[in-house]
Amino acid sequence: MLSSVMQNPHMFVKAVLPTPIGPMLVVTDERGQLRALEWADHEARMHRLLRLHYGAQGVTLTDGEAPPSVRRPLEAYFEGELLAIEPLAVETGGTEFQRSVWSALRAIPAGETLSYGALATKIARPTAVRAVGLANGANPVGVVVPCHRVIGANASLTGYAGGIERKRWLLAHEGAS
């Protein structure tokens, strides 16, 4: 028996948005909700996460334009209006635990950082530091779900799917020390 995801694949639009740190892929659904956000040089990762969240046959991507309701806030963010992306509607797959981590990420204000341990404590799972790190790494909507704001316990810039230099740029752009 085929799952409903396989019978009815999601139809998403993939657009390219120029940013100061490289082209960004913006994936939206028919309602204009953000489904994925990834750097163009990491497109394979984006496809892997889409397959993970929606199944091997669960997504059909077509090239197009990002809706203005998504494009404008992203452009404004990169122009220095850091709060412009906060109201963006995001729709993700993922497990309940992952979504709780991603929700907590959105609560980290621009210009601030949090360690993986502090993030685990924030979601009332203080011993789940490693799982929080894995959920952070599986975030399909970087920048808007600001996984770049999570740092190591010693304040080091730990892994970022878009690369440490982009993480450093994003944190500096937001005024994080």
Shared domain for 13 and 69, answered yes or no, is: yes
Per-residue model confidence as pLDDT tens digits over 151-165: 888 877 887 778 889
Shared domain for 122 and 102, answered yes or no, is: yes
Domain harbouring 33, CATH code: 3.30.160
In a domain, 156, yes or no: yes
Please report which confidence band the pLDDT of residue 8 belongs to, taking 50, 70 and 90 as the band edges.
low
Per-residue model confidence as pLDDT tens digits over 79-129: 999 999 999 999 988 899 999 999 999 999 999 999 999 999 999 999 999
The number of folded domains in the chain is 2
- Give the three-class secondary structure for 41: helix
Q: How far apart are CA 55 and CA 94, in angstroms?
A: 11
- The residue out of 85, 117, 147 marking a domain boundary is 85
Q: What is the pLDDT of residue 3?
A: 36
Q: What are phi and psi of 155, to 5 degrees?
A: 70, 15
Neighbours of 114 (CB within 10 A): 19
In a domain, 27, yes or no: yes
Q: How far apart are CA 87 and CA 2, in angstroms?
A: 36
In a domain, 129, yes or no: yes
- The residue out of 63, 85, 107 marking a domain boundary is 85
Q: What is the set of active-site residues?
A: 147
DSSP 105-168: HHTSPTT--EEHHHHHHHTT-TT-HHHHHHHHHT-SBTTTS-GGGEE-TTS-----TT-HHHHH
In a domain, 91, yes or no: no
In a domain, 90, yes or no: no
Shared domain for 39 and 111, answered yes or no, is: no
Using the predicted structure, report yes or no on whether residue 142 has a pLDDT greater than 80.
yes
Please report which confidence band the pLDDT of residue 1 belongs to, taking 50, 70 and 90 as the band edges.
very low
Domain harbouring 163, CATH code: 1.10.10.10
In a domain, 111, yes or no: yes
Q: How far apart are CA 21 and CA 13, in angstroms?
A: 22
Shared domain for 101 and 74, answered yes or no, is: no
In a domain, 115, yes or no: yes
Per-residue model confidence as pLDDT tens digits over 15-69: 999 999 999 999 999 999 999 999 999 999 999 988 888 887 778 899 999 999 9
- The residue out of 85, 119, 137 marking a domain boundary is 85
In a domain, 76, yes or no: yes
Shared domain for 101 and 43, answered yes or no, is: no
| 96 Cβ neighbours under 8 A, 6+ residues apart | none
Looking at residue 40, its amino acid is A
Q: What is the pLDDT of residue 86?
A: 95
End-to-end CA distance of the chain: 53
Q: Which domain holds residue 165?
A: 96-173
